[in-house]
């Protein structure tokens, strides 16, 4: 499931009328990279949680007959193939979160969809690029340990107060056993510098916990608060995942994603590199 109903207040005014999940990274909206990661991980059914003003997300993953007709011409084959490919990526379902009560509340919207199955949550504003898709790394951890798994990375002291902090003990390789966590820790209250960044694999055990989770930091129903209860009772696996994560929920993250993706882009990469070198020289 991809929660994409948030208001995106940190990227205003770009997100006043446009969902932050649709902010482009060179030539694709952020959420398309996320859907592609899920598909590369072997996931076939995807639920996107949307809300008011998020309708263009549905349009993006739909067929576009007028555009397809206009592209059905010699010389436009690649663009046509690309447009058709987006509509055929996966079975995509949508449900609206009627009030933005927090990420935990958004996850609860998935209950009728996932039933008793485990599921991966791919945060709609976190794009993770890498050879080995992050969601697949979490699925392998679930298969190995049979419990929920979260994607973690060490972050700076400056960042940890805005994210979450994990009480994590090494198991092996890049796997950790997490038996507690805290959302937005006050300075000095961190368990470690490991934070959940954008991906988790949950079991249906999370739903009864979410149903009684009270609003936490920022007055929102925090997914981390529910996952902390799961960690304390059943344990959660932390996966220090490989891949580069871009936070599309803040302006600097958006620019980092743009620049690094443009440098590696087959069409504009070399020209952009030359431009950037020239520009850097004049800074
Ligand atoms: P964030 O907390 O980063 O999103 O949630 P936000 O509320 O849009 O952020 P601000 O306003 O800039 O602070 C992480 C993900 O969860 C979704 C968001 O769309 C984002 O992809 N989300 C958040 C929901 O779907 N529903 C919510 O109630 C809150």
Q: What's the pLDDT at 110? A: 97
pLDDT digits (tens, 9 = 90+) for 97-144: 999 999 999 999 999 999 999 999 999 999 999 999 999 999 999 999
Average pLDDT of the segment spanning 187-215: 96
Q: What's the pLDDT at 218? A: 85
Confirm or reject: Cβ of 95 under 6 Å from ligand 1. Answer: no
Q: What is the distance in A from the centroid of ligand 1 to the CA of 283?
A: 35
Nearest to 245 by CA among 103, 83, 33, 61: 33
Q: What is the distance in A from the centroid of ligand 1 to the CA of 208?
A: 22
Mutate to test the pocket of ligand 1, among 46, 215, 249 (most ligand atoms within 8 A of CB): 249
Q: What's the pLDDT at 272? A: 98
Q: Which is the closest atom of ligand 1 to the Cα of 11?
A: 12
Say which residue the tokens 């996932």 belong to: 114
Q: Quick one: tokens of 99? A: 């009030």
The Cα 241–Cα 107 span in angstroms is: 22
The Cα 226–Cα 232 span in angstroms is: 10
Average pLDDT of the segment spanning 195-199: 97
Confirm or reject: Cβ of 106 under 6 Å from ligand 1. Answer: yes
Confirm or reject: Cβ of 100 under 6 Å from ligand 1. Answer: yes
Band (pLDDT 50/70/90 cuts) for residue 254 is very high
pLDDT digits (tens, 9 = 90+) for 242-253: 999 999 999 999
Confirm or reject: Cβ of 97 under 6 Å from ligand 1. Answer: yes
Confirm or reject: Cβ of 7 under 6 Å from ligand 1. Answer: yes
* pLDDT more than 70, % of the chain: 100
Answer yes or no: is pLDDT of 32 > 90.
Answer: yes
Q: What's the pLDDT at 189? A: 93
DSSP 139-201: HHHHHHHSS-EEEEEE--HHHHTTSEEEEEEEEETTEEEEEEEEESPPTT--S-SEEEEEEEE
pLDDT digits (tens, 9 = 90+) for 51-87: 999 999 999 999 999 999 999 999 999 999 999 999 9
Report yes or no: 127 and 245 within 8 Å, Cβ to Cβ.
Answer: yes
pLDDT digits (tens, 9 = 90+) for 157-190: 999 999 999 999 999 999 999 999 999 999 999 9
Answer yes or no: is pLDDT of 26 > 90.
Answer: yes
Confirm or reject: Cβ of 6 under 6 Å from ligand 1. Answer: yes
Q: What is the distance in A from the centroid of ligand 1 to the CA of 266?
A: 32
Q: What's the pLDDT at 58? A: 97
Answer yes or no: is pLDDT of 217 > 90.
Answer: no
Band (pLDDT 50/70/90 cuts) for residue 216 is confident
Question: What average pLDDT does the structure give for the chain?
Answer: 96
Q: What is the distance in A from the centroid of ligand 1 to the CA of 108?
A: 14
Q: Which is the closest atom of ligand 1 to the Cα of 126?
A: 21
Q: What is the distance in A from the centroid of ligand 1 to the CA of 115?
A: 23
pTM of the model: 0.96
- The 8-class DSSP code of residue 215 comes to P
- The 8-class DSSP code of residue 217 comes to G
Report yes or no: 236 and 150 within 8 Å, Cβ to Cβ.
Answer: yes
Strands 244-247, 164-172: parallel, antiparallel or unpaired by DSSP? unpaired
Q: What is the distance in A from the centroid of ligand 1 to the CA of 102?
A: 7
Answer yes or no: is pLDDT of 283 > 90.
Answer: no
- Nearest CA residue ID for atom 27, ligand 1: 102
State the Cα angle at 151 between 146 and 154, rounded to 5°. 135
């Amino acid at each position: 499931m991809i929660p994409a109903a948030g208001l995106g207040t940190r990227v205003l005014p770009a997100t006043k009328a446009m969902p932050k999940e649709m902010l482009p990274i060179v030539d694709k909206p952020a959420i398309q990279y996320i859907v592609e990661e899920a598909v590369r991980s072997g996931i076939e059914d995807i639920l996107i949680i949307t809300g008011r003003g998020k309708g263009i997300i549905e349009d993006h993953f739909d067929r576009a007959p007028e555009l397809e007709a206009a592209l059905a011409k010699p010389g436009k084959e690649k663009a046509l193939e690309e447009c058709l490919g987006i509509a055929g990526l996966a079975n995509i379902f949508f449900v609206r979160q009627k009030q933005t009560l927090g990420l935990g509340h958004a996850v609860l919207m998935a209950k009728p969809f996932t039933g008793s199955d485990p599921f991966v949550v791919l945060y709609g504003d976190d794009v993770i690029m890498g050879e080995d898709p992050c969601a697949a790394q979490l699925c392998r951890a679930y298969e190995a340990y049979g419990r929920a798994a979260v994607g973690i990375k060490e972050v700076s002291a400056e960042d940890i107060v805005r994210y979450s902090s994990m009480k994590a003990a090494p198991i092996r390789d890049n796997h950790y056993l997490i038996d507690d966590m805290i959302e937005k820790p006050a300075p000095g209250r961190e368990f470690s510098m490991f934070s959940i960044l954008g991906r988790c694999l949950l079991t249906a055990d999370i739903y009864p916990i979410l149903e009684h989770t009270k609003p936490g930091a920022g007055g929102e129903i925090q997914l981390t608060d529910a996952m902390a209860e799961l960690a304390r009772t059943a344990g959660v696996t932390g996966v220090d995942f490989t891949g580069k994560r871009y936070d599309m929920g803040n302006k600097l993250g958006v620019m980092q994603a743009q620049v690094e993706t443009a440098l590696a882009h087959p069409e504009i990469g070399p020209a952009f590199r030359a431009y950037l070198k020239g520009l850097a020289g004049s800074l």
